[in-house]
Structure 1
Amino acid sequence: MSDTIDLIEWIIGSGLSGKALEEIVGTLSKRLIKLGFPLVRVSIAMPSIDPLQRGFSVSWSKYSPVATEVQGHDDAGEDMFVRSPIYYLLSNDLLHGRWRLAEDDTSSFPLLRELSDLGATDYVIKLVAFPGGTALAGVGFSIAVDGSEGFNDQQVAIIEKIMPALALVCFQIAAMRVATDMLAVYTGARTSGRILSGQTRRGDGTAIYAAILLADLKNFTSLNERWPAERIVAWLNEHFEAVAQSVEQNGGEILKFMGDSLLAIFPADVEDPADACRRALSAATGAMDATVTLNQARYHSDQPEIPIDIVLHVGEVFYGNVGAARRLDFTVVGRAVNEAARIEKLADDVGHSLLASADFVAQCPDCFHKVGNFALKGVAEPASVFAWGPPTFERE
């Protein structure tokens, strides 16, 4: 009994100390072996609300180190889930299951056949529901042994006793994972870090110097009048994905999507912003190339082409919380953001899709040419605007 109490206290302490689930699974397996469990495999599985994965499991095996396996939302992930013991339990409103692998029919479960091939004789799985009714439904804890008699009564009792503590720790890990991963999905990795560090009050933030990328899909409003909403959303997502990949590959962060536009920043050294500007330019040209590829595919499938305009600028912005007391947006505001938005409106007039300010071009002069000086609404002085690529000349 004292060994079981010690194990429960260790599980709770591990959760309070913020240990990773991988470390907990690895050490838990070693402690169960010391308690006499002839372990083959120990696994903890939980669902996820990440847009790219339906769930994940962390497993220790007698024959391999601790590993994390992610199940996606694709057909392979769905098939893996449907053929799992967890799905069987959920489909039959059960919270626990036990298979004696040498005696019971395991043909429907690839995992159990695999364990049997490894010499496992007995498999137990238990589910514990999380509170709150969220998509984080609960945790599944499974354990397989290879002793000739399988689990004895004392070992089954130990599993029962440690489950509440283990489920509590897993709930804490899952909640923190949601807070960090999903906040990053909705706000960006850099911004989510600031929010989690405590910058949560309206007005919290700081002045930073940054290269700014503002992208806007052209003729998108007219498409809404001719195509159903689900097609529009699918095309919008394709373009945003193309731009986002290029931004992230070049070290930028998308701060917001605004209808058919997006705003991204590349934090810069105020004394030497050239590197941030070069990365922003690389992101912009990569996004333009990806858009061309998308539109070529659309053209060949009789779908509408959707061009994109991109503006590059650099300057000081306020990076922080803006909004109402209980509904905040962590974004950038300031003169540089306003100027970028005004320059974007000139794209059709000057006949170029990738424009930049004079301040930006001063850091990345190659392959830009001036298209004119323009009065920008709300800006006192006319702005010099540049276009990407060599100048074009009309023949006389």
Structure 2
Amino acid sequence: MQTPSEAPSPSPEDGSFPARRQGVLDWLIIETRNERFIDNILVELGERLQAAGIPVARATLHFRINHPQWLGARILWRKGLAEGEIDLYDYGTQNTALYLNSPLYVINNGGTEVRTNLEDLTEEQEQSSLYVDLRAEGLTEYIAWPLEHTLGKRHIVTFASDRKGGFEDEHLAFLAKIVPALALVSEIRLKNRFVRTLLETYVGPHASEQILAGATTRGSGVTVGAAILICDLRNFTKLSDLWPRDDVIELLNAYFDAMSEPIERHGGEILKFMGDGLLAIFPLSNPDAAENLLQAIREAEAAIAVLNQDNLSKGREPLGYGIGVHVGDVMYGNIGSRRRLDFTVIGPAVNIASRLESLTKETKRPVLLSRAFVELAGCASSMEHLGAYPVRGIGEPIEVFAFSGNEPAPKLRLAAG
């Protein structure tokens, strides 16, 4: 009995290619339902097309994506690649000469097909770096079609061949036949990704995972130990009254970038922005949570200092802020009305962090830490002890420390045994 590797390669005359081609379409419509990622589908599609006698050596998918940072994404497969390559494009890319002279511009503006013979480029086509680069890769023909999603949303699929003479008419007829199925399959994955991006953007990565896993019932949640950070911008009401609206928005965005990026970089999760403030937690499931929070504050202070230098150079007042830090158990879950929920944390520990943030105004220190937190972090010797302060709503006075960012926090160690 011949093994698959010993069996003769099929030829167009033996009748296997038509069956394989139908199999590609059946696979795309029926068997991809358990594959979550469209880049994996594109890779397998390319391999199946080759096995079915379609001389595709390169394929791409181009999507406009709903993301706060990125305008679009390209997924690329080349013959021999086991994984797809994903490139993201900034907002503003649509205004570049590279895009305006590309077939993508033609399709996005109503074109139904762009077909190019790479073996015999016209003088005008020779000015396109895309076509020149594809020809340098040994490709012979390129074709781009729209991927029509619902409600008029249009994306793009492209195929390129390395066969001498390019695609035959039967090849293109089959590729055109699978495009509607590819549009349906890609739209499902794109919308799944959009939902995830939307949740990550507005509630954070961990909360989004909880919600997508089914934590959507009011009152559902868990109790977690966390280091809690609450930050507030000083004199924002005055600034918003005096400055033009666009300048205020620019100021807030720059301030939140300076505060948020270090928090997220060191494993914190920002649960919400509250006007000119934010609430973040560092779950104690990470043994370095307290140290990570301190490092995030150091880097945020440095970023705010740079921002203030820029503000001063523009004749603006430097920004002030207050940060309160505490540690304790919090209830993490869904709270709200029957139809409008907020995935957040509540509990006495959150209230204490909030009170410490307010206390920064009285103490004239921008960052205040509770004794409970500095004992967890093991950093009392490097912080300034301010004494005990009565805190509204709390029975006992709280031992308060002012943050000093000059010395690094000691590395936490877990005792053996």
TM-score, normalized by the shorter chain, greater than 0.5: yes
Q: Which residue of 2 aligns with 1:375?
A: 390
Look up the match of 1:262: 278
C-alpha distance in 1, partners of 2:208/2:386?
38
Shift of 1:234: 0.7
Query: What runs of 5+ residues in structure 2 fail to find an aligned partner?
Result: 1-17, 406-417
**Residues 323-375 of structure 1: CA distance to partner in whole angstroms, max 9, x if unpaired?**
12221111101111111111211112111111011211222323222223222
Letter of the structure 2 residue corresponding to residue 6 of structure 1: G
SS at match of 1:57: strand
1:327 equivalent among 340, 349, 356: 340
Q: In the alignment, is residue 73 of structure 1 matched against residue 73 of structure 2?
A: no
User: Which residue number corresponds to residue 111 of structure 1?
Assistant: 130
Describe the shift of the 1:254–1:77 C-alpha distance in structure 2 as closer, same or farther (beyond 3 A). farther
**Residue aligning to 2:117:** 100
Shift of the 217–116 alpha-carbon distance from structure 1 to 2, 3 Å rule, reads same
Matched with 2:267 is 251
Secondary structure (helix, strand or coil) at the match of 1:234 reads helix
Letter in structure 2 aligned against 1:131: T
2:389 counterpart of 1:389: no
Q: 1:75 to 1:304 in 2, by over 3 A?
A: farther
% identity of equivalent residues: 33
State which of 85, 103, 107 in structure 2 corresponds to 1:89: 107
Q: 2:374 aligns with which of 361, 368, 388?
A: 361
**Deviations, residues 62-114 of structure 1 (Å, cap 9, x unaligned):** 476632221111458844433321211222x2222222231554245322222
Q: Secondary structure at the match of 1:54?
A: strand
Counterparts of 1:117-196 in structure 2 under 5 Å?
Answer: 117-132=136-151, 137-196=153-212
CA 1:139–1:389: 2 relative to 1, 3 Å? closer
Aligned residue in 2 for 1:32: 49
In the alignment, does 2:360 pair up with 1:343?
A: no
Deviation at 1:151, TM superposition (A): 1.8
Q: Residues of 1 paired with 2:97 and 2:271: CA distance? A: 35
| Segment drifting more, 291-300 vs 328-337 | 291-300
Instruction: Give yes or no for contact 1:40–1:120 (8 Å, CA) kept in 2.
Output: yes
CA distance in 1, matches of 2:165, 2:19: 25
Asked whether the equivalents of residues 312 and 360 of structure 1 are also in contact (C-alpha less than 8 Å), the reply is: yes
Looking at structure 1, the residues matched to 348 and 97 of structure 2 have their Cα atoms a distance apart, in angstroms, of 52
From 323, 336, 340, the equivalent of 1:310 is: 323
User: Structure 1: how far apart are the matches of 2:316 and 2:178?
Assistant: 58
Residue 332 to residue 130, structure 1, CA distance change in 2 (3 Å): same
1:285 aligns with 298
Superposed CA deviations along residues 268-290 of structure 1, whole A, max 9, x for unmatched, are: 14xxx863222212212221121
Q: What is the identity, as a one-letter code, of the residue corresponding to 1:228? A: P
Partner of residue 38, structure 2: 21
2:61 aligned with 1:48, yes or no?
Answer: no
CA distance in 1 between counterparts of 2:96 and 2:340 reads 36
Q: 1:99 is paired with a residue of what secondary structure? A: strand
Offset of residue 154 of structure 1: 1.1
CA contact (8 A) 1:139 1:170 kept: no
For residue 23 of structure 2, what is the aligned residue in structure 1?
6
Q: Within 2, Cα distance between the matches of 1:386 and 1:207? A: 26
Moved more, 350-359 or 100-109: 100-109
Q: Structure 1 residues 278, 53: closer, same or farther in 2, change over 3 A? A: same
Q: SS in structure 1 opposite 2:381?
A: coil
> How far 1:127 sits from its partner (Å)?
0.7
Q: Does 1:61 align with 2:78?
A: yes
Q: Distance in 1 between matches of 2:172 and 2:389?
A: 78
- Structure 1: distance between partners of 2:32 and 2:370: 51
> How many Å separate the matches in 2 of 1:7 and 1:45?
21
- CA RMSD for the aligned pairs? 2.1
* Structure-2 separation of matches of 1:119 and 1:386: 67
| CA gap 1:313/1:80 in 2 versus in 1, 3 angstroms | farther
SS at 1:319 equivalent: strand
Offset at residue 237 of structure 1 (A): 0.8
What is the TM-score of this pair, normalised by structure 2?
A: 0.86
Render the CA deviation track for 1:119-166: whole Å, top value 9, x for unaligned: 333221111221145xxx233111111333322121111112111211
Aligned to 1:393: none
Contact 1:280 1:312 in 2 (8 A): no
